[in-house]
Amino acid sequence: MCVVTDEHPGIDLSRPNAARIYDYMLGGSHNFAVDRAAGEAMLARFPDAALAGHANRAFLGRAVELCCELGISQFLDLGSGIPTAGNVHDIARRHLPDARVAYVDIEPVAVAHSRAVLADQVGVTITRADLRDPDQVLSADGVRGLLDFEAPVAVLAVAALHYVAPDDDLPAVVGRYREVMAPGSALVISHGSDDVADPAAAAHMRELAEVMATSATPAYLRSRARLHEALAGFDLVDPGLVDIRRWRTHSELPDTAVYGAVGLVSARRRR
Ligand code: SAM
């Protein structure tokens, strides 16, 4: 149970939010009663919701490893969440010890806990910013001062873009990040959807979105076609946009109804 309250006046304890519900689902301790109640409501409707969260973390790990194999040593992690096992800098530095990571999240508990965990890390920053405002993110000291956008950067938006409302024009938001990404850069996304082959998985994802609708951070599902629109201009690595449980791994477990993809910026497609 998280006991930070007065020290972090920006925290809204009246409603659950994505970072803290996700922390609860992953077995973390930086969440409040409202978040645990929302997590339990999700588990009541979709008992495998926590497993889907772990599948998302596993996807993130595989995607970061691929970026390292491609020689990318800089990471901008949008909607990075509350630190947990397998953080991006831990994974990346196993492969590339000098990897630099700029974490960005909007949620005060995620930012405060990240700051505490990262205090002794050189080459890793945490910035509180809104990923829907790319210029705010890209001009922040923790991002601009750490990452060199003349060289390849991996921009991660893992389980984060479904908090961008339909009115917020997701392709334009992603497009603004793409404009500053040098050739050889990569975009990593995962995103909930009910446009999937398995009707049970689709129904479970709609259940999760219904619970999130009562939170401070509603989640919006997108069709596969809408996600492809957001990925326009990126060359998707194999196997393309697929369920995270099918992305460069084999699992006997059912689909999660969370799509994942990694897209590369090629020289001719940068803008
Ligand atoms: N990326 C991590 C992962 O995949 O394990 C955490 C995902 S968690 C489900 C979603 C995160 O996105 C939360 O920490 C939440 O605070 C953050 N988030 C939601 N809306 C955001 C926004 N507009 N700007 C920045 N972060 C946001």
Q: What is the pLDDT of residues 68-111, one digit of tens each?
A: 999 999 999 999 999 998 999 999 999 999 999 999 999 999 99
Determine the Cα–Cα distance for residues 32 and 132; give it in Å rounded to an integer. 26
What is residue 270's predicted lDDT score, i.e. its pLDDT?
A: 55
- Per-residue pLDDT, averaged over 209-228, amounts to 97
What is the whole-number distance in angstroms between the Cα of residue 77 and the centre of ligand 1?
Answer: 9
pLDDT at 4: 40
- Closest C-alpha to 157, from 216, 91, 81: 81
Flag whether the ipTM exceeds 0.85. yes
Span 225-244, mean pLDDT?
A: 98
Compute the distance from residue 232 Cα to the ligand 1 centre, in Å: 22
By the 8 A CB rule, do 246 and 260 touch?
no
* The pLDDT of residue 2 is above 50: no
Rounded distance from Cα 159 to ligand 1 centre (Å): 7
CA of 18 to the centre of ligand 1 (A): 7
pLDDT attached to residue 12: 85
Closest residue by CA, ligand 1 atom 17: 79
Q: What is the mean pLDDT of residues 206-233?
A: 97
Whole-number Cα distances in Å, 258 to 7, 13, 77, 268: 35, 28, 18, 30
**Would you tell me how many other CB atoms lie within 10 Å of the CB of residue 264?**
20
Please report the pLDDT score of residue 5 as a whole number.
43
List the structure tokens of 234.
Answer: 């990126």
pLDDT at 8 over 70: no
CA distance 220 to 239: 24
CATH value of 50-269 in 3.20.20.450, 3.30.450.20, 3.40.50.150, 3.40.718.10: 3.40.50.150
Task: Report which protein residue has its CA nearest ligand 1's atom 12.
Answer: 79
Which parts of 49-142 are beta strand (E)?
Answer: 74-78, 100-105, 124-128
Residue nearest to atom 15 of ligand 1 (CA): 19
Confidence at residue 3, expressed as pLDDT on a 0 to 100 scale? 40
Judged against a pLDDT cut of 60, whether residue 59 lies above it is answered with yes
Whether 226 shows a pLDDT value over 80: the answer reads: yes
